[in-house]
Amino acid sequence: MPDDYKPENSKPATSTSRNEGGCPVHDWATDFDVMDEGYTTDPSPIWADLRERCPVAHTTRWGGSWMPTKYEDIQKLANMVPALSSKTVTVIPPDPILREELIAELKRYGTENPPITADPPEHSPFKRLILPFFSPKSVAGYQKMTEDLCNDLLDKIEERKTAGNPMCDGAVEYAQQIPPRVIAYILGIDMARADEFTQWTQELLELGQTDPELRRSARQKIMNFFAEEVAARRVEPRGDVISQLLEAEVEGEKLSDHKVAGICNLLLVAGIDTTWSSIGAAIYHFSTHAEDRHRIAAEPELLPTAVEELLRFYSPVTMARKVTEEIEFQGADMKPGDKVLMTFPAANRDPAVFENPDEVVLDRKQNRHIAFGTGIHRCAGSNLARMELQVALRLWFERFPDFEMACAEGVTWAGGQVKGPRNVPLRLLG
Amino acid sequence: MRIRVNPNLCQGHNRCFSLAPELFEVDDFGLASAVNDGNVPTGMEDKAQLCIDNCPEFAISVVDGSE
């Protein structure tokens, strides 16, 4: 472990009866903690150490899991389908009560949020069902709306700057505001409730990881919301994505209301936290790296490769898989029921694949990053995320070519399933 | 230079299409194929190489070996 890494500085996570966070990690190979503050802030030295001596780490914390750290291994594991099942994909498993509820729902309705929680052969028809909504052609149709939205947000920040206040929070006032409105627009739900959607998603994916009751209530709120939206469109179709899902057929059969609500739940949740984290991380990066900032301001044509590089470096998403058969992999004895983390962010820092992996190189030429995953569960919304990132950054730089971090201590990172900065205090320059 | 997208490997990331829409087309499910039977116009070889080097599924390759 590098000397500058001090796990004893970690803030304890909320502790319950399970073996979870709270006590310092002594050996990351056998006792890693994905909720450790040091891991959330800068996991790269930990992965580098594990790649050398492990390379698949294990922990009993948070329900127990395996953590691969090499690009090649993560590619292989992500493609071991369905030996590694997607039936449960959460990094921190639900508490027993919620788990019982989920199992009961699974029995009643089959797969809960397809295609993300489905294995072959069920997976493919559901993935094909949602992919056209996020094809490059469809996403081009959402660009104008995204541009208008970004400009409105930038107007507000600029107004305040003109009035003499150059401070703003790039995460709260900008990054966080964009994805919920874009996905609400696409789904055809009320954009005015975007703050609620963000709150539910944050409770479910972020705060709920260490607070089972919050996670349960957030999930309930989202499912109830979509149950109503779906019911309304059964009576009166509106031509939006929800109405189209109600008309769609999978293997010759219409989808139940519950399944449509489950898919909508997935599209909303997956579309918010992840992209918000990526846009926030990009702004954080440019606020703390003057050279890169000046370069993008001078050469905005670099944005397409720069966006991919920032996705590589600040990869937000870690998924999980459940082992369904005995697997011996790189010295790890994986047993049925075990959880394996899809540590895509670790893969993207592997020096065997990326030259100087811990440096951001805005025009990196070789960049086979897997921030959106790999294999059949590749993120269905990757084109949408890429468009949002490019639009958000291009318009930001047109408006505010120069800015800087105002308070490094004020930056807070969410971790676990989705990593991203929740506060990015900035000073706008010029 | 001639390139090919292996349809069995492509998972529809669309990295190639986003870097070089001149060289690829994608269907509604994101699956990519090389336009113009994979023949890369003179002067666009670097861009084609960039796409090869950015595919997360290792699905794009040079087919005739001449560069």
Q: How far is A179 from chain B (nearest CA, A)?
A: 20
Amino acid A98: pLDDT: 76
Q: What is the least distance, in Å, from the CA of A123 to any CA of chain B?
A: 13
Considering chain A, what percentage of its residues have pLDDT values greater than 90? Answer: 80
Name the phi and psi angles at A426, rounded to 5.
-120, 155
Contact A89, A116 (CB under 8 A): yes
Measure A211 CA to nearest chain B CA, in Å. Answer: 34
Res A80: pLDDT: 97
Say what the pLDDT of residue A10 is: 38
Domain for residue A45, yes or no? no
* pLDDT at B12 exceeding the cut of 90: yes
Does the beta-carbon distance from B56 to A370 stay under 8 Å?
A: yes
Taking 60 as the threshold, does the pLDDT of residue A17 lie above it?
Answer: no
For residue A140, the domain's CATH number is: 1.10.630.10
Taking residues A111-135, report their average pLDDT.
89
* Closest C-alpha among B20, B59, B10 to residue B40: B20
Using one digit for the tens of pLDDT, what is the confidence trace for A34-66?
A: 999 999 999 999 999 999 998 999 999 998 999
User: Does residue B25 sit at the A interface (CB-CB below 8 Å)?
Assistant: no
**Tokens linked to B63:** 């087919």
Give the residue-averaged pLDDT of A345-374. Answer: 98
B54·A372 Cβ contact <8 A: no
- Interface touch A369/B56, C-beta < 8 Å: yes
Give the count of domains, chain A.
1
- Searching chain A, which residue's CA lies closest to the CA of residue B54? A368
CB contact under 8 A, B28 and A305: no
Q: Which of A7-11, A22-26, A153-157 has the highest mean pLDDT?
A: A153-157
Cβ separation B13–A128 shorter than 8 A: no
The domain in which residue A117 lies consists of 71-316+374-428
**Nearest chain A Cα distance for residue B24, angstroms:** 12
Q: % helix / strand / coil in chain A, to the nearest 5?
A: 55, 10, 35
Sequence length of chain B is 67
Average pLDDT over residues A377-402: 97
The verdict on A309 touching B (C-beta cutoff 8 Å) is no
* pLDDT-based confidence at residue A14 (cuts at 50, 70, 90): very low
To the nearest whole number, what is the mean pLDDT of chain A? 91
Residues 182-221 of A with CB under 8 A from B: none
Cβ-based contacts of A369 with chain B (< 8 Å): 56
Interhelix angle A257-288/A194-205, rounded to 10 degrees, is: 90
Domain range annotation of chain B: 3-62
Alpha helix stretches (DSSP H) within B9-54 = 15-19, 45-52
Please report which confidence band the pLDDT of residue A104 belongs to, taking 50, 70 and 90 as the band edges: confident
CB burial class (10 A; 0-12, 13-18, 19+) of residue A193? middle
Q: Do A131 and B55 touch (CB under 8 A)?
A: no
pTM of the entire structure? 0.93
**What's the N-to-C CA distance of chain B in angstroms?**
5
Q: ipTM above 0.90?
A: yes
Contact of A95 with A212, CB cutoff 8 Å: yes
pLDDT score at A16: 43
Do A368 and B29 lie within an 8 Å CB cutoff?
no
Q: State the pLDDT confidence band at A117, using cuts at 50, 70 and 90.
A: confident
- Asked if residue A351 has a cis previous peptide bond (ω within 30° of 0), the answer is no
What are the tens digits of pLDDT across the range A274-294?
999 999 999 999 999 999 999
User: What class is the B3-62 domain?
Assistant: alpha beta
Chain-chain contact of B17 with A136 (C-beta, under 8 angstroms)? yes
**DSSP SS3 for A150:** helix
pLDDT at A231 over 90: yes
Q: Which residues of B touch A367 (CB under 8 A)?
A: 53-54
